[in-house]
Chains A and B, each alone.
Chain A
Amino acid sequence: MAKIIQIEQLTKIYHLGKVKVEALRGVSFEINTGDFVSIMGPSGSGKSTLMHIIGCLDYPTGGKYFLSGQDVNKLNDDQLALFRNQKIGFVFQEFNLLPKATILRNVELPLTYNNTHSKNKKQLAVQALEEVGLGDRLKHRPNEISGGQKQRVAIARALVNHPSIILADEPTGNLDSKTGQDIMKMIDKLHDEGNTIILVTHEAEIARYGKRIIHLKDGVIDRDEVIV
């Protein structure tokens, strides 16, 4: 299978005042197209840092990161923004919807930044919202819907550009367990439909939805476990 992500000896060092924090200390792994990988670890393990780098939100201090064969370290800010727009669909713990915009506008947002024609934009956004079962809530605002619905809007927003990977950062962290399960089932279904999914979590139960779990501890890979 085609390798969508190749990571070699990735390091990330933060300087917080005089304190040097080594968040990643040489991480290497590959992810194939269509995989469902969970990155798991306790807080401080470096999983958020890793997610930011995979999500093209941040540059690593050292090592190499190839996304779809492209060396991400060699991209400038604008190219990185384009990569985020086209290759990655984010699903955040805090949903991160724009509170004053309607659900439709929220889902249209990624399309706004790649100059999709406004007519297609609406059509694509409505389609994505229908996929997550919110086709009847287009004109609602985020404060008018439940947490589970918000996360479904976020998933629709992640899907609307047909990204190469869906990057979910603790997607169930702000939800009750029943709703969390619904969301995980939805993500699972997206995987079944052929999407590549990277799930970042500290909960073992949630991580179990993945077909492979990368255990991260103190900035290095502790264990790379394949679920049969």
Chain B
Amino acid sequence: MVSHLTKRFGERTAFEDVSFTVAHGEVFGFLGPNGAGKTTTVRTLGTLIGPTSGSAVVAGIPLSEANGGEIRQLISIMPENPGLYLRLTVQENLELFADLYGVRHPGDRIGATLGTVGLAARAGDLCGRLSKGLRQRVGLARALLSDPVVMFLDEPTSGLDPVASREVHDLIASLRQRGVTVFLTTHRLEEAERLCDRVAILNTRLLAVGRPEQLRTQLFRSSLVVETAAPLPTPEAVFTPEMGVDTWTLDGDATYVLTVADPRMAAPNVTRALVAAGADVMSIAVSRHSLEDVYLELVDEDPEARP
């Protein structure tokens, strides 16, 4: 739980008055433009830096300098750059972190995590000789070593090809099934939409928190997109409030975007009205806004985002 958390560096505000709660076992997306304060928030919750004001409870422990060690024992953070020791082998990198976390039976645990990320055969390779995608996987293995309660993943698929990204997505999905709380910072909105139970959109201040579907419903009215073979002679006579249509606009020669309160009720009515008007209907579809639309709507209207 994060409550009114603020971090300032002198006159500069990294983030301010941020409040949200993440449930146990939830995959929580943290979105925002560059410089929005996402990484600083993760560093603050990860006890790397102290908040200027506000409070938080991380993995059930109040965030404070005194509790830093205890919190760090229960969480793991994977930064965007995995930060591996390039002159050490994969095994040696993981041995170091297993010792720092006090992992019991480190050999077995390292073998298991390498198996989870598909790197069991590369344990003896120097990290400096691995591709970026493989290094990212070693970073994930390292984050999994201590069997954390909360994982902070900062852009875990940055620079990965689609296949490697999908593997990371599958891994995050499996973490959810194991009850690990995942705090996912990402620029990839489709990734957040696919993986996250809820998302928060940050731009120094928190702009919105909720499930992607809820944010869509809240920000955008439902709409139908109607395409006919030819322009309607009198569309105002077809798209009426009686049909459940609030407003309509022409989008191209014979495509109409209708704002409706309830697409399930309006779509059959509009279809019948179009047929009655003698129109040749090519398609009627419910327009679905993506999380990207939500994001752009929130960030674009935010004065902080304007140059």
Query: Is chain B found bound to chain A in the same assembly?
Result: no
Which residues of B are at the interface with A, using a C-beta cutoff of 8 A? none
